[in-house]
Structure formats: structure tokens, C-alpha cells
Amino acid sequence: EYRNATAAELDLRIRAAKHALGDRLVILGHFYQRDEIVRYADFLGDSFQLAQAAKTKPNAEYIVFCGVHFMAETADILSRAEQAVILPNLAAGCSMADMAEIDSVTDCWEELASVLGTASDGSDKQPVLPVTYMNSAASLKAFCGEHGGVVCTSSNAETVLQWAFERGQRVLFFPDQHLGRNTAKKMGIPLEQMPVWDPNKPMGGLTPQQIRDARVILWHGFCSVHKRFTVDQISFARQRHPGVHVIVHPECTMEVVDAADEHGSTELIKKRVEAAPAGSIFAIGTEINMVQRLANEHPDKTIFCLDSIICPCSTMYRIHPSYLAWVLESLERGELLNRITVPEAIAAPARVALERMLALKP
Ligand code: 13P
Ligand code: SF4
């Protein structure tokens, strides 16, 4: 029924359901959502802003989250128990988040302890402290909460790592090696002190000496969308558009981040474009739906994606208006579909790690 509906029909149905639900409903949306979804969002943001919004904004009974699974889990953890978080399509995951799962992180933790010990060796710091990127399952956030660690997003990674280094001699950073490497490098940590842990190899493929010498142990995860951006694309953009400002997301590789003029979260990218004078030229290394929207909203500026072959985040894209119409009309009938609930045994320690992050000044 929903699949065969036209865009115009779906629009009418979503608007009608939204109107009927009134203040009982709030729709949160990530910047990477397609325009046909963004238009219904009561609040649009990067993953940090959306976590804050889930905690502070809505009085609503229902939080419909147009984003990916880990974001909806975070919203459930931070919102009040009586609020229900709904993900319109349960297949909207994140391939990077799936690259670290709790069993292999726990194995890694134990192997690190076998080299480093668990006591602090006379130092007032832990031998290693876990930091997880927001793009991770709730169980990993819980792991961080239980082991003195914290969560970070692309907008606060440096502040969070600073906090972690005040408490740990080393950091185990997961799942995104690129965000970890780009941030630690910016903080002056040499590359030799950031080995990558490969969970498919014994002892992560590292020697005990590499582990002892490390400041940041990077999990081997990456984002397949941001991995597509290359230094050649940046050179090409500079040749074709002298004066172009190249801005990329820190999930890009180190080489790309180094070749860009600037890097930052989706919110930072948006702010830079908004603040630039008419006539500015931007080559952007992030998800295409967001770049295209910025280009449409700023016709007085030249804005394009670094990768000329369209590169959407295929899982963000799975939130289609037909799914939104389906969950909203079900809510109207009092039926809760696609609710995301994190069991309290996981939510409680995950909340500790999230609250540690939220308490830090960006
Ligand atoms: P932001 O935290 O910048 O919104 O990024 C989230 C994300 O998934 C980027 O790929
Ligand atoms: Fe995950 Fe990459 Fe999509 Fe972001 S863009 S949600 S990191 S797959």
C-alpha cells in the first residue's frame, strides 16, 4: 500500500498524521537524510546535536528518528523512559558501527590488559581508557561507561580525547580509525604511536612493544562513504576552481584531511557554507544528500561534492517517506511500530559514557 503510493499522496498522509499527533510527536532528522524526509523534521542536526535534542528538546511521547540505528539507540538512552523512540526503517544501520562488536572489543581489552596490566603502575592514570565514536552500538557505549571511558562525535573528538588523556596513559579508540587518527594527529601525537588493532589477527597484529609505546590504539573501522574521497579529487577541484575552499568530514582518510583546507562535523561544514560571502566556492567531502541540499539552499555560492559519482550513505537513504508514513499512521492508531529500546542493563552504563561527553564543553 505504502510502496505504491505516489510522492504527493505520501506527503499528504505524512502531513495529516503529523498534524493529528500534534505535540505528542517530534521528528528528529540527521543532515544526511534525503530532502523528502528533511522537510518533515522538527529538528535537524549532526549526531551530537541530535543526542542533545533527544535529551532536552521534546516533551513528546513519540520521538521518530530519521537517521540510523545507533542514533536512535542514543536517543532512547538519553530520553525519558516513558518516551518511545521509533526508527522508521529498522534496516537503517551504519556499516562502520557494525565493524566493532562487543565480543571482539572485549577480547581486545583483555589482550591489552595481558600486556599492560590493569593497575596503573604508580601513575594516577589507567593504562588504557576506551573511547567510542558515537557511531557504535549501545553495548560499546556501555563498555566505555563501565571502564571509565567516554563517547565522542566528530564535533568534539579533540576535547574528548584531551579528557581521556588526562585519565588514561593510552586510549583505545573505536570503531573509526580515521576520526581517531585525524584527531590524535592534530593534537601532535606521532603516527608511530597510533597503531591499528586488527581484530582478525592474534594480539591485533601488534607487538607488545607497539602496544606499550602507543598513545592511541585505533580500531580498524572506517566509513565506506567517506573512504571514497581522494587527494586526486582535491587536486582536480583546485585546478578547475581556483580559490575553492575544500572542506571534508574527519571520517575521510588522513591524506584527504591533510590535503583539504579544513575538516569538521556535518554541522561545522554547514556553518562554514552559511557564513561564506556570495560567490564563494566549496568542494565538500561528505554525504551527497547534505552537499546537494547546501548547494540548493545557497544558489549564490558554488557548492559541489568532491566525488562526482554520486555517493549517498545507502543506509541513511533507507528512511523513505513510505516508511515515515507507515510508522506515523500506525502511531495515530495507537500502534507502536519499529520502537528502539535499549535494555536498562546496557542503557545505564551507556548513559554514563554519553553524559560524560555531554558534560564537556565543545
Ligand atoms: P556527524 O556527527 O558529523 O553528524 O557525522 C555522523 C556521521 O555518521 C558521519 O558519517
Ligand atoms: Fe555510517 Fe558512513 Fe553512513 Fe555515517 S556516512 S552513517 S559513518 S555509513
Tens of pLDDT, residue by residue over 114-133, are 999 876 566 789 999 999 99
Ligand 2 pocket test, pick from 46, 87, 179, 225 with the greatest ligand atom count within 8 Å of Cβ, gives 225
Q: Give me the phi and psi of 353, to 5 degrees please.
A: -70, -35
Ligand 2: atom nearest CA of 67 is 6
Q: Is 286 touching ligand 1 by the criterion CB < 6 Å?
A: no
Mean pLDDT of 243-248: 98
Side by side, which strands form the sheet with 62-66? 43-45, 25-30, 62-66, 84-86
- Determine the Cα–Cα distance for residues 28 and 66; give it in Å rounded to an integer: 6
The fourth-level CATH superfamily of domain 226-305 is NadA-like (3.40.50.10800)
For residue range 160-204, list pLDDT tens digits in order: 999 999 999 999 999 999 999 999 999 999 999 999 999 999 999
Residue 112 Cβ < 6 Å to ligand 2: no
Distance 117 CA to ligand 2 centre (A): 35
132: closest CA among 155, 157, 108?
157
List, in order, residues 6 or more apart from 34 with CB less than 8 Å away: 289, 316, 317, 319, 320
Q: What is the rounded CA–CA span in Å between residue 7 and residue 25?
A: 22
Cα–Cα distance, 304 to 312 (Å, whole number): 14
Our answer on whether the CB atom of 315 is closer than 6 Å to any ligand 2 atom is: yes
Instruction: Tell me how far apart the alpha carbons of residues 13 and 328 are, in angstroms, rounded to a whole number.
Output: 9
End-to-end CA distance of the chain: 46
- Name the residue of 95, 153, 155, 222 whose CB sits within 8 Å of the most ligand 2 atoms, as the mutation to test its pocket: 95
Distance CA 169, CA 123 (A): 9
Question: What is the interface pTM, i.e. ipTM, of the complex?
Answer: 0.97
Q: Is the pTM of this model over 0.80?
A: yes
CA distances from residue 63 to 21, 138, 319 in whole angstroms, order as listed: 11, 18, 15
- Write out the binding residues for iminosuccinate: 30, 47, 133-135, 154, 249-251, 266
Q: How many residues does the chain have?
A: 362
Model confidence at 58: pLDDT above 80: no
CATH number corresponding to 7-94+316-342 = 3.40.50.10800
190: how many CB neighbours lie within 10 A of its CB?
Answer: 10
251 C-alpha to ligand 1 centroid (Å): 8
Whether 7-94+316-342 and 226-305 share one fold: the answer is: yes
Find the mean pLDDT for residues 222-242.
Answer: 96
Cell numbers for 211, please give them: 602496544
Render pLDDT for 260-291 as a digit per residue (tens, 0 to 9): 999 999 999 999 999 999 999 999 999 999 99
Ligand nearest to the Cα of 96, by number? 2
Residue 151 has a pLDDT of: 98
Whole-angstrom distance, CA of residue 207 vs CA of residue 33 = 42
Average pLDDT, the chain: 95
Q: Are 266 and 250 in contact (CB under 8 A)?
A: no
Q: Copy the grid coordinates of residue 275.
A: 557564513
Q: What distance in Å separates the CA atoms of residue 158 and residue 311, rounded to the nearest whole number?
A: 27
* Residue 4 confidence (pLDDT) above 90: no
* Ligand 1 near 153 CB (within 6 A): yes
Which among 130, 117, 70 is positioned nearest to 95, based on CA atoms?
Answer: 70
- Domains of the chain, by residue range, sit at 7-94+316-342, 97-222, 226-305
> Are 284 and 291 within 8 A, CB to CB?
yes
